[in-house]
């Protein structure tokens, strides 16, 4: 299949690589062209602008945020120039209302739009073991399912309304950032009592909180090792902003999310935005000097 792929950050590169390894022809584009080089070495074709990537049967996008996606697809005038048949699979975590807007704009052009945000860090993406939250036209998802099977261990279908996938992704990310926040607070508590945070992480990740969030982020907190970042704190802040915006849409209050938002803003202000989300623990350290 002829596939376009735009957005080649850590996640995008890993996902695109698996599509190439699956034997597909992949046209790749990124705002920083150097990011395409490893994929070209695998057999991808680098293109000069995103419009060339959209000259395909299926296009995957994994841009950093709403602003980047809006700039590439809407502000540039690209989407109004596109025509179906074409399927656009957006893997990024974006705002719920923006997902609804994109679905309608694609529909007007005769293009199938699938929201398909993913669960997993870059190492999970590289292994083709992502969980994919997919929503959009059923027949379009059926058509791209073999591609989704190349990049993920399971596709969770959430209906025809595209924004349903983004709502579910934001809810899961809320649970993730809340867990990292709690681990950071607990790590400071035990350290002030003369215990090792790494021992706490070992205990909980092998007993009451088994799974990749506590074992993965917990290990980073226990070792105070925040670079290289698999999920940057600044992107965590972006997601919490989206979580709270989604909550306001339906008159829901999320006090815990507001706390984490404040702590992430503090981390970014202290120059830790490019470090891993686990750097939330350092906010607690600064707030609780020994």
Which amino acids are annotated catalytic? 169
Contact 232, 276 (CB under 8 A): yes
Q: Give the separation between CA 123 and CA 241, rounded to whole angstroms.
A: 25
Q: What are phi and psi of 136, to 5 degrees?
A: 155, -170
Report the DSSP pairing between strands 25-29 and 130-134: unpaired
3-class secondary-structure state, position 284: helix
Q: Which residues neighbour 100 within 8 Å (Cβ) at sequence distance 6 or greater?
A: 161, 162, 163
**In this structure, are residues 15 and 151 in contact, taking their beta carbons and an 8 Å threshold?**
yes
Residue 23 carries which DSSP code?
T
Decide if 178 contacts 257 (C-beta within 8 A).
Answer: yes
Report the DSSP pairing between strands 118-119 and 130-134.
antiparallel
Query: 3-class DSSP state for residue 236?
Result: helix
Strand, coil or helix: 270: coil
CA angle in degrees (0–180, nearest 5) for 236-95-254: 65
Q: Which residue has the tokens 């680098």?
A: 46
Residue 178 φ then ψ, to 5°: -65, -40
C-beta neighbour count of 270 within 10 angstroms: 14
């Amino acid at each position: 299949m002829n596939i376009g792929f735009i957005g080649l950050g850590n996640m995008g590169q890993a996902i695109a690589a698996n599509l190439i390894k699956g034997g597909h022809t992949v046209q790749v584009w990124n705002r920083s062209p150097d990011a395409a080089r490893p994929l070209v070495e695998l057999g991808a074709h680098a293109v000069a602008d995103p419009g060339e990537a959209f000259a395909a049967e299926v296009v995957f996008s994994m841009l950093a945020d709403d602003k980047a996606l809006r700039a590439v697809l809407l502000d540039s005038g690209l989407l109004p120039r596109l025509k179906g048949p074409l399927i656009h699979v957006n893997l990024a975590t974006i705002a719920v209302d923006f997902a609804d807007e994109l679905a309608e704009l694609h529909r007007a052009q005769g293009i199938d739009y699938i929201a398909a945000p993913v669960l997993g860090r870059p190492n999970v993406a590289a292994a083709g073991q992502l969980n994919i939250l997919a929503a959009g036209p059923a027949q379009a998802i059926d058509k791209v399912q073999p591609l989704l099977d190349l990049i993920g261990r399971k596709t969770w279908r959430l209906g025809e309304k595209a924004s349903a996938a983004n709502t579910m992704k934001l809810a899961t990310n809320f649970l993730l950032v809340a867990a990292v926040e709690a681990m950071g607070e607990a790590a400071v508590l035990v350290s002030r009592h003369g215990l090792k945070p790494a021992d706490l992480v070992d205990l909980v990740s092998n007993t009451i909180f088994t799974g990749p969030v506590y074992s993965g982020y917990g290990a980073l907190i226990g070792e105070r090792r925040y670079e290289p970042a698999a999920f940057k704190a600044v992107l965590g802040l972006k997601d919490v902003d989206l979580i709270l915006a989604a909550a306001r849409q339906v008159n829901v209050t999320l006090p815990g999310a507001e706390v984490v938002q404040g702590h992430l803003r503090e981390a970014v202000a202290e120059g830790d935005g490019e470090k891993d989300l686990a750097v939330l623990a350092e906010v607690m350290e600064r707030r609780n000097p020994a």
